[in-house]
């Protein structure tokens, strides 16, 4: 029998509250405790120093990714997807689940720079952007599995952990957002005990992806993190009426090679870059067929 969404939401909240109230650090046989992470001092974007294990990880469910704010490639998209995840997790963020975006460029990404970046993505209190002394941050990110030799080659993964149970896993940032949310929730053993159909009943229906148009899936994966269609600017501009506002050939060229168009000094690209400095359009590797599907989907949504 399927429970009502209201009852399931109450049950889910009670489950998380109960689990959060159990005071227990990492299991004794877990290799992923204070000794592994070392209790180094880091600085979240609010400027208050924190011990990485004691203050950010111990006895918590955590979600961690890596960024740098001057990235001109895919970082704004991954941060936008994190914003989607945080929004779907709702008031659990900062209470039952703690989210950390750790800079790969602590030499530049000061707390002040990260605070501005966090504001651009409307980060709530439970989503903290973390920096610190480079001599600390670089070894720490290595321990957390981010071992790229250059920033531009870093992995676009999510690291999920539950210090109470000693469970840690890595997953792709570009999986379906609803699947990622379920995997995060499932880091709590009590949540895993809730039947799958009950979990689905607790999620708003608008979180379920319904594919009705060839470009919809691509938009959800590549664009929705930064753009709305008809609901106002997000991290990037609202795309409603895009074909009416921009020349078709320009749109095709910009979506195909945005970095090249910007480098030519194109006035529209420069204007967008100045208006949305934290959401520079990355090269998504789109084919012309992908671009036509996306534009057709945006046109379809505009006309709804």
> Residue 65 above 90 pLDDT?
yes
- The structural architecture, per CATH, of the domain 5-206 is 3-Layer(aba) Sandwich (3.40)
> Residue 153 above 70 pLDDT?
no
Q: What is the pTM of this model?
A: 0.66
**Burial (CB count within 10 angstroms: exposed 0-12, middle 13-18, buried 19+), residue 105:** middle
Secondary structure class of 56 (helix, strand, coil): helix
Percentage of the chain beyond pLDDT 90 is 38
The whole-number average pLDDT for the span 112-123 is 93
Q: For 204-223, how does the pLDDT look when each residue is reduced to its tens digit (9 = 90+)?
A: 444 434 445 778 877 877 78
CA distance 121 to 226: 9
Q: For 85-107, how does the pLDDT look when each residue is reduced to its tens digit (9 = 90+)?
A: 999 999 999 999 999 999 999 99
> Residue 6 above 50 pLDDT?
no
Q: How confident is the model at residue 7 (pLDDT cuts 50, 70, 90)?
A: very low
> Residue 59 above 80 pLDDT?
yes
> Residue 246 above 50 pLDDT?
yes
Query: How is residue 66 written in tokens?
Result: 């890596």
Residue-range domain boundaries for the chain = 5-206, 216-303
> Residue 55 above 90 pLDDT?
yes
Q: Domain 216-303: which topology?
A: Cytochrome Bc1 Complex; Chain D, domain 2 (1.10.760)
CA distance 88 to 100: 16
């Amino acid at each position: 029998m399927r429970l009502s969404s209201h009852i399931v939401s109450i049950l889910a909240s009670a489950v998380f509250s109960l689990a959060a109230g159990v005071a227990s650090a990492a299991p004794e046989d877990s290799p992923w405790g204070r000794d592994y992470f070392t209790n180094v001092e880091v600085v979240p974007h609010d400027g208050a120093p924190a011990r990485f294990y004691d203050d950010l990880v111990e006895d918590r469910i955590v979600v961690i990714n890596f960024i740098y704010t001057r990235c001109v490639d895919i970082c704004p998209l991954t941060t936008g997807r994190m914003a989607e995840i945080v929004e779907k997790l709702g008031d659990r963020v900062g209470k039952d689940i703690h989210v950390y975006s750790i800079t790969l460029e602590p030499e530049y990404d000061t707390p002040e720079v990260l605070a501005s970046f966090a504001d651009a993505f409307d980060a709530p209190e439970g989503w903290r952007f973390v920096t610190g002394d480079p001599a600390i941050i670089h070894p720490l990110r290595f321990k957390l599995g981010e071992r790229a030799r250059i920033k531009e080659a870093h992995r676009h993964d999510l690291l999920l952990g539950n210090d109470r149970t000693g469970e840690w896993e890595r997953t792709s940032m570009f999986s379906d957002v609803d699947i990622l949310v379920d995997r995060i929730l499932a880091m709590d053993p009590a949540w895993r005990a809730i039947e799958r159909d009950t979990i689905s009943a607790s999620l708003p229906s608008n979180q379920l992806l319904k594919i009705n148009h060839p470009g919809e899936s691509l938009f959800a994966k590549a664009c929705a993190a930064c753009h709305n269609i008809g609901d106002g600017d997000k991290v990037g501009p609202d795309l409603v009426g895009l074909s009416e506002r921009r020349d078709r050939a320009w749109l095709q060229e910009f979506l195909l090679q945005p970095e090249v168009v910007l480098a030519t000094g194109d006035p529209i690209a420069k204007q967008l870059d100045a208006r949305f400095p934290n959401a520079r359009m990355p090269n998504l590797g789109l084919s012309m067929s992908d671009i036509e599907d996306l534009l057709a989907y945006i046109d379809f949504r505009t006309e709804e």
